[in-house]
């Protein structure tokens, strides 16, 4: 049996595809920011919080890491309304992706914090920084810089995992594929095009974010810093911030 591939007529759906890309990227961006915050907050609690709070964080992390994303999504989208919490599908998708990414981000950031040598903390204390300042200005920036590649790949995993939000009718890239193939009955071609789009997205996104990481954290990944002002403007600001810190309240 031979099959004649037919990619004609897909031009009709260019708009739909573009919207799918926008929705997928938008969901990923929002949940990356929110999930990153959850990760930093959760990791702070996990290393320095009271015992009960640590227990809560650990339970959250284990629950999320040991259940499939699709079940989390269905639980949130179909389960929460029965508790009287009504959210639409986009909110459910963002919530599920944030909750999911947050749990992994906590683990990753915590590993980053663990990787910071004790000497860094002692040096900061010797400079007169108190507990929270040590964490905020010395430990956290280095920890995040150290684990930035791991965080980045987690973000990409979440983006690819977000394909299942089409199941609760969020109009993302996968939804576009399902829609197109239901119109022109060219299932294989539709999914091939959308799969290729995902591949391009993840390759481009990884490149971009790697570059961003290099810029943001130039010279910050835990090693001895030089006393020279960094060339990059962003690190330069942080560098100056770090220098002026002990005198400010």
Stretch that binds another protein, among 43-51, 111-119, 153-161, 219-227 (CB under 8 A): 153-161
Answer yes or no whether residue 82 interacts with another protein by CB under 8 A: yes
For tokens 């905020």, the residue is: 136
For tokens 């290099």, the residue is: 214
Binding residue for another protein, selected from 53, 75, 127, 169, defined by CB under 8 A: 75
Minimum CB distance to another protein smaller for 85 or for 229: 85
Residues 6+ apart with CB under 8 A from 62: none
133-137's contacts with Cβ under 8 Å and 24+ in sequence apart are: 133/245, 135/44, 135/48, 137/241, 137/242, 137/245
Binding residue for another protein, selected from 6, 62, 88, 114, defined by CB under 8 A: 62
CB of 4 to another protein, least distance (A): 10
Binding to another protein by CB under 8 A, coded x per residue (else -) over 230-249, reads --------------------
Binding residue for another protein, selected from 55, 65, 123, 132, defined by CB under 8 A: 65
User: Residue 177's closest CA among 189, 162, 194, 196?
Assistant: 194
Stretch that binds another protein, among 46-54, 143-151, 155-163, 218-226 (CB under 8 A): 155-163
Binding to another protein by CB under 8 A, coded x per residue (else -) over 193-232, reads -xx--xx--xx-----------------------------
Count of positions on this chain that bind another protein (CB under 8 A) = 41
Minimum CB distance to another protein smaller for 94 or for 201: 201
Answer yes or no whether residue 71 interacts with another protein by CB under 8 A: yes
Answer yes or no whether residue 192 interacts with another protein by CB under 8 A: yes
Binding site for another protein (CB under 8 A): 1, 3, 62-63, 65-72, 74-75, 78-83, 156, 160-164, 166-167, 174, 177, 181, 187-188, 191-192, 194-195, 198-199, 202-203
């Amino acid at each position: 049996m031979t099959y004649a591939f037919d990619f004609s007529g897909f031009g009709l759906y260019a708009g739909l595809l573009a919207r799918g890309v926008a929705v997928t990227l938008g969901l990923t961006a929002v949940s990356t920011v929110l999930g990153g915050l959850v990760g930093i907050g959760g990791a702070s609690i996990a290393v320095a919080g009271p015992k009960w709070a640590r227990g809560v964080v650990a339970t959250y992390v284990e629950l999320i890491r040991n259940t499939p994303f699709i079940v989390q999504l269905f639980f949130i989208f179909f389960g929460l309304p029965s508790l009287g919490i009504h959210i639409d599908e986009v909110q459910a998708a963002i919530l599920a992706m944030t909750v999911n990414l947050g749990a992994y981000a906590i683990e990753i950031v915590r590993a980053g914090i663990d990787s910071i040598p004790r000497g860094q903390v002692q040096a900061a204390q010797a400079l007169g920084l108190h507990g929270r300042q040590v964490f905020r200005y010395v430990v956290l920036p280095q920890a995040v810089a150290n684990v930035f590649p791991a965080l980045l790949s987690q973000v990409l995993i979440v983006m690819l995992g977000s394909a299942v939000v089409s199941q609760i009718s969020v109009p993302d890239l996968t939804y576009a594929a399902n829609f197109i193939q239901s119109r022109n009955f060219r299932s294989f071609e539709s999914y091939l095009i959308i799969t290729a789009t995902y591949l391009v997205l993840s390759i481009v996104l990884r490149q971009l974010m790697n570059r961003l990481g290099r810029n943001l954290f130039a010279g910050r990944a835990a090693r001895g810093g030089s006393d020279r002002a960094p060339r990059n403007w962003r690190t330069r600001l942080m560098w100056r911030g770090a220098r002026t810190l002990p005198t400010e309240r």
